[in-house]
Amino acid sequence: MAANMYRVGDYVYFENSSSNPYLVRRIEELNKTANGNVEAKVVCLFRRRDISSSLNSLADSNAREFEEESKQPGVSEQQRHQLKHRELFLSRQFESLPATHIRGKCSVTLLNETDILSQYLEKEDCFFYSLVFDPVQKTLLADQGEIRVGCKYQAEIPERLAEGESDNRNQQKMEMKVWDPDNPLTDRQIDQFLVVARAVGTFARALDCSSSIRQPSLHMSAAAASRDITLFHAMDTLQRNGYDLAKAMSTLVPQGGPVLCRDEMEEWSASEAMLFEEALEKYGKDFNDIRQDFLPWKSLASIVQFYYMWKTTDRYIQQKRLKAAEADSKLKQVYIPTYTKPNPNQIISVGSKPGVNGAGFQKGLTCESCHTTQSAQWYAWGPPNMQCRLCASCWIYWKKYGGLKTPTQLEGAARGTTEPHSRGHLSRPEAQSLSPYTTSANRAKLLAKNRQTFLLQTTKLTRLARRMCRDLLQPRRAARRPYAPINANAIKAECSIRLPKAAKTPLKIHPLVRLPLATIVKDLAAQAPLKPKTPRGTKTPINRNQMTQNRSLGGIVVKRAYESVVPFSANGRPLTSGIRSSTQPAAKRQKLNPADAPNPVVFVATKDTRALRKALTHLEMRRAARRPNLPLKVKPPLPAVRAPIAPPLPPHPASTNEPIVLED
């Protein structure tokens, strides 16, 4: 009963999504809506996964400084990873959530120098915070509510002087005497002088135009003149005049007129006082934020002084009573029953009892966090195409703390996005050629030809897993869909299970000897030499048939004949852009695109190569295209043998020169 009772001030879990972690919030108010539902006004607390990477690095540096100052004991990498899940960031952002979305209580405390970080891992549902996050400004600042203990904040007490030792310090610089209790005046004389000072202050307010507007009545002026600022001025006047009443009287009323003393309560206008009350309602006693957002023209000392004077007025008492009445009318607590509905991410088997080892899911998969293969219940986690899952305990850890017990590649993959192509891997001419205003799409095209080739070399365990787990890997299907990700961890885990049960004779792995890239390029260049570069100014051959075509058909696209003459450049590509012909007007000429720049190595087919291609069948051509790394054995075509030319036969003498007519 007490566990399901939630009160104002409790830190609770809120669930806004079935797959995302819980939200950690602090209940500020419990309000009942018109339709009978209960809404909770809460303060938002953020996790590390909710802030940017730059702020995460700032939080890491703050954590290192805290460990050095507080001399924390050493922790392992896994504990350090889990401590990041226990850290929260307080904010001043409020939101209203339905009370039915509450999923439990938690504890959030301010991190102190005496705390040991490893103790937070031993407690369940325990968090800490030390920084304040501003969602609007995207800043991370230290909390002002920390306890200021240490030599930076406390005064150092000097050693006591010995008997007979003189104090050589200058007393006038250290302190100033403002009142002498052993003065010659009696208490009655001092009280009479204070009454005179109040009367002078009332008269001074009557002469002042601004004060007469603020205090139009005599009672208000007398009350303002009776404040502490007037009494302090009177006692200071007695001290400066050596407690001589005649001199002090003349000081109160100099030649220019009576002295007017006003404090912050009188200096502030009514509109400024309303702004202060509004800021106090929003920020509380955080005077730095009050000055920054509401009263920037006031000093911090003036705001603090006005606050303590404002607490002595009737306005403060009225607001205190109104808040107490509102608190009595609001809900103090609310009962939320335990949420028992099944989670949509729960993996339920088909044709068997639900929740038994995750039946119905792909076999061979393990928990992404603890890598276990046995669990009472499994939950789908991560992208659907990855088919990742978590066991029951790791799923609860994910929902409460917003992370996994061990770091993985999938965790934090969606945090922020950086520019896909940086200039770190470019040469200096390439980096200078890129304009800062170039878009990412155009920049990707410019860099497409300048990336270096990389080679992925597989290990022996990976090769064994390919043979042992062909049913899970499905290599032919994976080769047809290279963009689909493969869960390598699950395949390796299944391979480790099947490997002891396999035949004792090891599989024969034939290592493939690969030639270096320089040798391959050299051999290919020797087989297909490059054409010499065409010198500038050479006339481009143009098909004569194009000159005889009708001009009216110049805009119609006609299929190019197989034997038509097409000009080629030095790299073997047709010069279709940048060349003005008779059928292509100058207005429609295309400019050369930097993305279409030729590769460093270009191979041009020769007549012999084309002849060999014609000797291949269609099936052999397809096999060679699928496996370009294998050598191709082709029998060169035999040279055509010319038949001997027979001598021409003598012409048969015609019987007649008339035409021959054939009739049916």
> What pLDDT was estimated at residue 454?
62
Beta bridge partners of 27: 42
**Token pair 């904010």: residue:** 91
Name the strand (E) or helix (H) holding 132. strand 126-134
User: Residues 6 or more apart from 274 whose CB is under 8 A from it?
Assistant: none
Find which of 125-139, 469-483, 540-554, 644-658 is predicted with most confidence, using mean pLDDT: 125-139
> What pLDDT was estimated at residue 573?
46
pLDDT at 35 over 90: no
Mean pLDDT value across residues 54-79: 89
Q: How many helices (H) and strands (E) does the chain have?
A: 25, 11
Mean pLDDT value across residues 54-69: 90
- Lowest mean pLDDT of 106-110, 175-179, 572-576, name the range: 572-576
d(C-alpha 90, C-alpha 141), whole Å: 10
Q: What digits encode the pLDDT tens for the residues 305-354?
A: 899 988 888 888 888 888 888 777 778 888 888 888 888 988 875 444 44
Longest dimension (CA), the chain: 174
- pLDDT band (50, 70, 90) for residue 217: low
Q: What digits encode the pLDDT tens for the residues 590-645?
A: 555 555 555 556 667 888 888 888 888 888 888 888 888 788 777 666 665 555 56
- Lowest mean pLDDT of 196-210, 278-292, 344-358, 439-453, name the range: 439-453
Ramachandran class of 364: left when φ > 0, alpha when ψ lies in -120 to 50, beta otherwise: left
d(C-alpha 351, C-alpha 357), whole Å: 14
Question: Cα-flanking dihedrals φ and ψ of residue 573, to 5°?
Answer: -95, 145
Beta bridge partners of 352: none
> What pLDDT was estimated at residue 41?
92
d(C-alpha 195, C-alpha 203), whole Å: 12
Domains and CATH numbers, the chain: 5-142 (2.30.30.490), 187-262 (4.10.1240.50), 276-329 (1.10.10.60), 342-347+365-406 (3.30.50), 461-503 (no CATH)
- Lowest mean pLDDT of 3-17, 41-55, 168-182, name the range: 168-182
pLDDT at 466 over 50: yes
pLDDT at 579 over 60: no
> What pLDDT was estimated at residue 641?
54
Q: Could you give the percent of the chain with pLDDT greater than 70?
A: 70
- Of 572, 570, 592, 600, residue with least CA distance to 450: 600
- Of 290, 300, 207, 192, residue with least CA distance to 248: 192
- pLDDT band (50, 70, 90) for residue 172: confident
> What pLDDT was estimated at residue 106?
94
Mean pLDDT value across residues 235-257: 87
Q: What digits encode the pLDDT tens for the residues 80-97?
A: 999 999 999 999 899 999
* DSSP reduced 3-state for 314: helix
d(C-alpha 654, C-alpha 331), whole Å: 129
Q: Could you give the percent of the chain with pLDDT greater than 90?
A: 15
> What pLDDT was estimated at residue 542?
43
Higher-confidence position of 223 and 191: 191
User: Residues 6 or more apart from 247 whose CB is under 8 A from it?
Assistant: 241
> What pLDDT was estimated at residue 619?
86
Both tokens of residue 437? 């205003």
Beta bridge partners of 25: 12, 44
> What pLDDT was estimated at residue 88?
94
pLDDT at 107 over 90: yes
Mean pLDDT, the chain, integer: 75
Higher-confidence position of 53 and 504: 53
d(C-alpha 141, C-alpha 169), whole Å: 41
Mean pLDDT value across residues 548-557: 43
Higher-confidence position of 613 and 529: 613
Higher-confidence position of 158 and 570: 158
Higher-confidence position of 47 and 209: 47
**Token pair 């928990």: residue:** 367
**Strands in 277-393 per DSSP E:** 333-335, 378-381, 388-391
- Of 547, 464, 465, residue with least CA distance to 507: 464
> What pLDDT was estimated at residue 374?
87
Q: What digits encode the pLDDT tens for the residues 358-414?
A: 444 555 578 888 888 888 889 998 888 778 889 999 999 999 999 998 876 545 443
- pLDDT band (50, 70, 90) for residue 427: very low
Mean pLDDT value across residues 27-52: 90
User: Residues 6 or more apart from 366 whose CB is under 8 A from it?
Assistant: 372, 373, 489, 490, 493
